[in-house]
Amino acid sequence: MHGPGEFELSRRGILVGGAASVAMTAAPPIAEAQEAASAGAGAPVLARVTLKVNGKPHTLELDTRTTLLDALREHLQFTGTKKGCDHGQCGACTVIVDGRRINSCLSLAVMHEGDSVTTIEGLGTAEKLHPMQAAFVKHDGYQCGYCTPGQICSAVAVLDEIRAGIPSHVTGDVAGKPAMSAEEIRERMSGNICRCGAYSNIVEAISEVAARRKA
Amino acid sequence: MKAFTYERAGSPAEAAAIVGRTQGARFIAGGTNLLDLMKLQIETPTHLVDVNHLGLDRIEATPEGGLRIGALVRNTDLAADKRVRKDYALLSRALVAGASGQLRNKATTAGNLLQRTRCPYFYDTNQPCNKRKPGSGCAAIGGINRSMAVIGASDACIATHPSDMAIAMRALDAVVETVRADGATRAIPIAEFHTLPGDTPNVENTLAAGELITAVTLPKPIGGTHIYHKVRDRASYAFALVSVGAILQKDGSGRVAFGGVAHKPWRVEAAEAALAQGAKAATALAFAGAKPTEQNKFKLVLAERTLAAAIAEARA
Ligand SMILES: Cc1cc2nc3c(=O)[nH]c(=O)nc-3n(C[C@H](O)[C@H](O)[C@H](O)COP(=O)(O)OP(=O)(O)OC[C@H]3O[C@@H](n4cnc5c(N)ncnc54)[C@H](O)[C@@H]3O)c2cc1C
Ligand code: SF4
């Protein structure tokens, strides 16, 4: 299930061929980088890191510059997590690390030694969707689908954040308990941009899961 | 991104010593500002010292009745802390007005104070910018400067400080605690922490090379109504055009700091004495000597109206 299936490989092939930025940020093959590492200042530096991704540990030898996003996509073939802006502005790269959602593009893989990462592949499977995935399908919470893995990872964490009582910009009384409301969900999802503009359906999908879990 | 070596420091003093003696070394905390700038080669450190595992992530009560916030406390955790929500609500409100949920989960107290400007020409490496490349000029002065500073700027730089959290810290009289490369510690009042651009806009604060922020302390709570109003181009997830952080007391007295208007959080204590007379009097004093551009003079009107809204809210 988690291996690079044929479909994923061919999609990646197209992306690498078609988008210069993706090709350029992919780390060089390890052997090549190791040779260069001995070449002096400014040469790539390698480091070993162990990440637990969707419950399974993976040890990688990475260029220190490799972001968590590139480690997941380019080195472990968890291509469900998407690269949008690569600057923390769009949220397509959202994953859950040790229970918290973060932008995997603005974090170095080497800084995650021993951390547990959950990607969209770890939330549910095609046969057994996570309730949030099922709700996005039911409510048409996407059009092109590129931002969807980030939206879903973010949405799952948003419900946990509201339940944990973490305030948001629209929480009336920050000392009180935030409401499980559409207004709260909208504000908390503002770090996930959808250029197709599926926002209203996304809020409906999340609200449905929120209501179900509340009952 | 330029290549760099990476290490985890063993203690705060060790981290400061390493960065102090290593050419091109920098601390990395949440990484949400530093990595963004490294990808664009605006920042090009050759060695990163990770300060995430030094036990600087706690919020503790101080003997004086205040709070000591570890430098590595995440913005989410600080905003959600029960004591902060109850006694320093301005800080919670300012934090949740900034960035996104994902970013706040990584962003730290120290990193937030030290985030760099969002001036579009600072980000555009094709343009002259005295902050990015001292002596190269300032593209913003004759360019698109709607978002820039209206007061305290210089002929070298008209950038603003983008932090929401820092506005609350300024109004709350926070103190920044540090350890220096030689192991000495000191406490810097927030009023003396951020600097104006002058002739050296590349210098943004009074930290020495290798000086590590270990904590930010808050004096004991002062009560009052805590308000943070942020006016921006979208309802969420955008930097402030103008923001007002205010703590207003029943008798009409209070404190106010403005964001989005200067190279540092803008607080004029003399202007606070006029708060009881209303927003017009207080903003006139706070912005005496302002030099807005044709494109951003609206910020002066906006600052007054935003403060008026805060005062009305406190009275309601
Ligand atoms: C898309 C986007 C939108 C944003 N919107 C907002 C917003 O609306 N409002 C807002 O206020 N902010 C906003 N931010 C900025 C965000 O708040 C900062 O990026 C964050 O607070 C930086 O904290 P960090 O821990 O990630 O810092 P880092 O990136 O790790 O570090 C920043 C700087 O501080 C130095 N440093 C870190 N820790 C220490 C220490 N302990 N001692 C000494 N030096 C240290 C580093 O060397 C570096 O120079 C936004 C960011 C992004 C990407
Ligand atoms: S305003 Fe400051 S940061 Fe912006 S271009 Fe001018 S010198 Fe650079």
- How confident is the model over A104-122, as pLDDT tens digits? 999 999 999 999 999 999 9
Give this prediction's pTM. 0.93
HSE at residue A213, side-chain half, CA atoms within 13 A, is 17
CATH fit for domain A124-215, picks 1.10.150.120, 3.10.620.30, 3.20.20.450, 2.170.270.10: 1.10.150.120
Helices (H), B143-182: 165-171
pLDDT at residue B141, rounded to an integer: 97
Q: Which residues, other chains included, contact B123 with Cβ-Cβ below 8 Å and sequence gap of 6+?
A: B40, B42
| Residue from A89, A103, A187 to probe the interface with B (highest B Cβ count within 10 Å) | A103
Q: How far apart are CA A167 and CA A97, in angstroms?
A: 20
The proportion of chain B whose per-residue pLDDT surpasses 90, expressed as a percent, equals: 100
Q: Which among A56, A168, A28, A33 has a CA at the least distance from the CA of B75? A: A168
Q: Which among B313, B304, B266, B259 has a CA at the least distance from the CA of B283? A: B304
Return the amino acid letter for B155: D
Interface confidence, given as ipTM, is 0.97
pLDDT at residue A40, rounded to an integer: 56
Please give the residue that has the higher pLDDT: either B31 or A26: B31
pLDDT at residue B183, rounded to an integer: 97
pLDDT at residue A12, rounded to an integer: 36
Q: Which residues, other chains included, contact A82 with Cβ-Cβ below 8 Å and sequence gap of 6+?
A: A92, A93, A146, A147, A149, A150
Q: Is the CB of B29 under 6 A from ligand 1?
A: yes
Local confidence band at A42 (pLDDT 50, 70, 90 cut-offs):
confident
Q: Would you tell me the crossing angle of helices B279-286 and B298-315 to the nearest 10 degrees?
A: 140
Asked if residue A37 has pLDDT above 90, the reply is no
What's the mean pLDDT in A56-81?
Answer: 98
Chain B residues in contact with A108 (beta carbon < 8 A): 6, 28, 31, 35, 48
Local confidence band at A214 (pLDDT 50, 70, 90 cut-offs):
low
Domain ranges for chain A, please list them: 43-122, 124-215
- What's the pLDDT tens digit per position in A165-212? 999 999 999 999 999 999 999 999 999 999 999 999 999 999 999 998
Task: State whether residue A101 is helix, strand or coil.
Answer: strand
Find the CB nearest A102 among B5, B97, B105: B105
A residues 77-96 lying closer than 8 A (beta carbon) to B: 86-88, 91, 94
Q: Is the CB of B110 under 6 A from ligand 1?
A: yes
The DSSP code for A99 is T
Four-point Cα dihedral A87, A88, A89, A94, nearest 10:
130
What's the mean pLDDT in B39-53?
Answer: 98
Cα separation values, B181 from B30, B68, B93, B194, Å: 21, 22, 34, 20
Q: Which CATH class is domain A43-122?
A: alpha beta
What's the mean pLDDT in B200-209?
Answer: 98
Q: Which protein residue's CA is at the shortest distance from atom 8 of ligand 1?
A: B98
Q: Which among B44, B20, B37 has a CA at the least distance from the CA of B116? A: B37
The DSSP code for A74 is I
The DSSP code for A55 is T
Mean pLDDT across chain A, nearest whole number?
86
pLDDT at residue A70, rounded to an integer: 98
Q: Is the CB of B59 under 6 A from ligand 1?
A: no
The proportion of chain A whose per-residue pLDDT surpasses 90, expressed as a percent, equals: 79
Find the CB nearest A101 among B86, B96, B101: B101
Chain A residues in contact with B35 (beta carbon < 8 A): 67, 106-108
CA distance to partner chain A, nearest, from residue B5 (Å): 6
pLDDT at residue A212, rounded to an integer: 87
Find the CB nearest B32 among A43, A65, A88: A88
Q: Which residue of A has its CA nearest to B46?
A: A42
Distance in Å from the first CA to the final CA of chain A: 33
What's the mean pLDDT in B177-194?
Answer: 98
Cα separation values, B30 from A10, A78, B42, B71, B115, Å: 34, 23, 18, 11, 11
CA distance to partner chain A, nearest, from residue B199 (Å): 30
Local confidence band at A123 (pLDDT 50, 70, 90 cut-offs):
very high
Q: Is the CB of B162 under 6 A from ligand 2?
A: no
Interface residues of B toward A, Cβ cutoff 8 Å, are 1-6, 28, 31-32, 35-36, 39, 46, 48, 50, 52, 76, 79-80, 82, 85-86, 89, 92-93, 96-97, 99-103, 105-106, 235-237
pLDDT at residue A215, rounded to an integer: 53
- What's the pLDDT tens digit per position in B296-316? 999 999 999 999 999 999 998
Question: Ligand 1, closest atom to CA B214?
Answer: 41
Ligand whose nearest atom lies closest to the CA of B137: 2
Domains of chain B by range and CATH? 5-53 (3.30.43.10), 225-315 (3.30.390.50)
Asked if residue B235 has pLDDT above 90, the reply is yes
What's the mean pLDDT in A56-82?
Answer: 98
